[in-house]
């Protein structure tokens, strides 16, 4: 199974993971065979990519269940729309922060029971409903980082709540700025930066939100070197929860398709974050986060330094840059009669030199025989 851009889909491919909308409704079930009509519909809905089941024995497992993720996204959508409709002003929203408690508890419990899983999956979300899925993913990634840092169950819950609500201030930002397909002007950027202050103000009025939630909303764009916003805090002036949330917020944002740019490949995002220690974020937090992320997610088609091409089967925790690869093609791009697996951690002379996106264009006929 692997992630394939919607624009590279072909009729006859089998959906590997169910596709949900932000209301928790299933758009396509896993196992569905794609048709031209389905592909056209996915494009119209702004679904940027789909997980396709075409590599036998290659599983891409999420760190939380599909049901938990879909329900969490639906709840966040209800909360943010409720806040947006009342302009974030005073008064009781139909959905409040207290309604998120069970969601965060469920996410924390699932992650604590699945500690050995690496982050291999890039969540698929429509371009129009990016914020809802993003909020849930930031919560998930923040809690995973907290687990690695040895946080107690109580601390994990409070971190998760803050991370889930970190962008609530965007409900006061005009959609034409949030969803602008081109670069922001300096004035538009100033408007965007206010979402941190707005978020803290909104949460201060909600009796279900504690001080930690407000701190995360206010500080998640502050940076270790003092060049963040809105207050220009630096180093230990930034709460650790806000640093964690800010880091995973950046990672999730750059690995997702946006209206103004396509997603960065995971290995490139990994490198960006790896170089940010004690510059944008505390070094220990960066290391804790990256220890949970597969730089080359399962299902990635990669070319090794010896020219051979294969599919990533898994990444062992602690070896983010050294996946296990099933070799499918020779350096001459001829399919192997007997594919074999190699763990790069045991063969350090070999490295991944390329992640291949459009495998159909490279070898449309031989791919069918290799899977």
Give the CATH number for residue 88.
1.10.3210.10
User: What is the model's pLDDT at position 291?
Assistant: 94
Average pLDDT, consecutive stretches of 10 residues, N- to C-terminus, the chain (371 residues): 86 91 86 95 88 81 90 93 65 72 97 88 72 94 97 98 97 91 92 97 94 98 97 97 98 87 91 95 97 93 96 92 96 94 96 83 47 45
Q: Cα(67)–Cα(73) distance, rounded to whole angstroms?
A: 10
Residues 24 and 101 in one domain: no
The answer to the question of residue 58 being in a domain is no
Give the CATH number for residue 22.
3.90.105
Q: Which of 290, 310, 339 is the last residue of a domain?
A: 290
The answer to the question of residue 191 being in a domain is yes
User: What is the model's pLDDT at position 161?
Assistant: 98
pTM for this model (two decimals): 0.89
The answer to the question of residue 277 being in a domain is yes
SS (H, E, C) the chain: CEEEEHHHCCCCCEECCCEECCCCCEEECCCCECCHHHHHHHHHCCCCEEEECCCCCCCCCCCCCHHHHHHHHHHHHHHHHHHHHCCCCCCCCCCCHHHHHHHHHHHHHHHHCCCCCCECCCCCCCHHHHHHHHHHHHHHHHHHHHHHCCCCHHHHHHHHHHHHCCCHHHHHCCHHHHCCCCCCCHHHHHHHHCHHHHHHHHHHCCCCCCHHHHHHHHHCCCCCCCCCCCCCCCHHHCCHHHHHHHHHHHHHHHCCCECCECCCCHHHHHHHHHCCECCCECHHHHHHHHCCECCCCCCCEEEECCCCEEEEEECCCCCCCCCEEEEEECCCCCEEEEEEEEEHHHCCCCCEEEEECCHHHHCCCHHHHHC
Residues 281 and 315 in one domain: no
Q: Which of 290, 319, 349 is the last residue of a domain?
A: 290
The answer to the question of residue 170 being in a domain is yes
The answer to the question of residue 32 being in a domain is yes
Residues 311 and 332 in one domain: yes
Residues 45 and 71 in one domain: no
Residues 48 and 77 in one domain: no
Q: 19, 27 in Cβ contact below 8 A?
A: yes
Residues 264 and 365 in one domain: no
Residues 173 and 106 in one domain: yes
Q: 142, 244 in Cβ contact below 8 A?
A: yes
Residues 247 and 335 in one domain: no
The answer to the question of residue 121 being in a domain is yes
User: What is the model's pLDDT at position 40?
Assistant: 95
Residues 25 and 146 in one domain: no
Residues 250 and 365 in one domain: no
The answer to the question of residue 355 being in a domain is yes
User: What is the model's pLDDT at position 88?
Assistant: 46
Q: Which of 265, 290, 315 is the last residue of a domain?
A: 290
Q: How many domains does the chain have?
A: 3
Q: Cα(234)–Cα(219) distance, rounded to whole angstroms?
A: 10
Within 10 A of 136 (CB to CB), how many other CB atoms are there?
Answer: 28
Domain that holds residue 342: 301-370
Residues 188 and 326 in one domain: no
Residues 246 and 314 in one domain: no
């Amino acid at each position: 199974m692997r992630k394939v851009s919607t624009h590279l889909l072909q009729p006859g491919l089998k959906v590997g993971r169910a596709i949900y909308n932000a209301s928790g409704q299933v758009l396509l079930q896993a196992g569905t065979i794609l048709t031209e009509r389905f592909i056209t519909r996915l494009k119209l809905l702004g679904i940027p990519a789909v997980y396709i089941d075409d590599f036998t024995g290659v599983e891409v497992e999420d760190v939380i269940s599909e049901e938990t993720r879909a329900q969490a996204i639906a709840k966040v959508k209800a909360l943010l729309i409720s806040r947006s409709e009342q302009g974030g002003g005073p008064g009781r929203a139909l959905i409040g922060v207290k309604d998120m408690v069970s969601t965060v508890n469920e996410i924390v419990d699932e992650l604590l029971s699945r500690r050995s899983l690496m982050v291999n999956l890039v969540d698929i979300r429509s371009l129009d409903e990016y914020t809802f899925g993003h909020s849930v993913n930031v919560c998930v990634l923040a809690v995973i980082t907290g687990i690695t840092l040895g946080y107690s169950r109580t601390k994990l819950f409070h971190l998760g709540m803050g991370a889930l609500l970190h962008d609530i201030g965007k409900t006061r930002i005009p959609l034409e700025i949030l969803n602008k397909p081109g670069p922001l002007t300096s004035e538009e950027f100033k408007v965007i930066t206010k979402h941190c202050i707005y978020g803290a103000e909104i949460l201060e009025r909600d009796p279900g939100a504690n001080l930690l939630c407000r701190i995360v909303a206010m500080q998640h764009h502050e940076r270790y070197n003092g060049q963040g916003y809105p207050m220009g805090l630096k180093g230990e002036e930034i709460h650790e929860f806000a640093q964690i949330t800010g880091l995973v917020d950046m990672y999730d944002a750059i690995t997702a398709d946006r209206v103004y740019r396509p997603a960065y490949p995971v290995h490139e995002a990994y490198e960006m974050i790896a170089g940010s220690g004690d510059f944008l974020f505390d070094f220990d937090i960066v290391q804790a986060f990256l220890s949970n992320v597969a730089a080359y997610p399962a299902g990635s088609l990669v070319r090794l330094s010896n020219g051979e091409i294969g599919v990533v089967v898994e990444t062992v925790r602690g070896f983010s840059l050294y996946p296990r690869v099933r070799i499918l093609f020779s350096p001459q791009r001829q399919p192997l009669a007997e594919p074999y697996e190699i763990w790069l951690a045991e063969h350090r002379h070999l490295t991944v030199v390329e992640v291949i996106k459009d495998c159909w264009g490279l070898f449309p006929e031989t791919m069918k025989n290799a899977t």
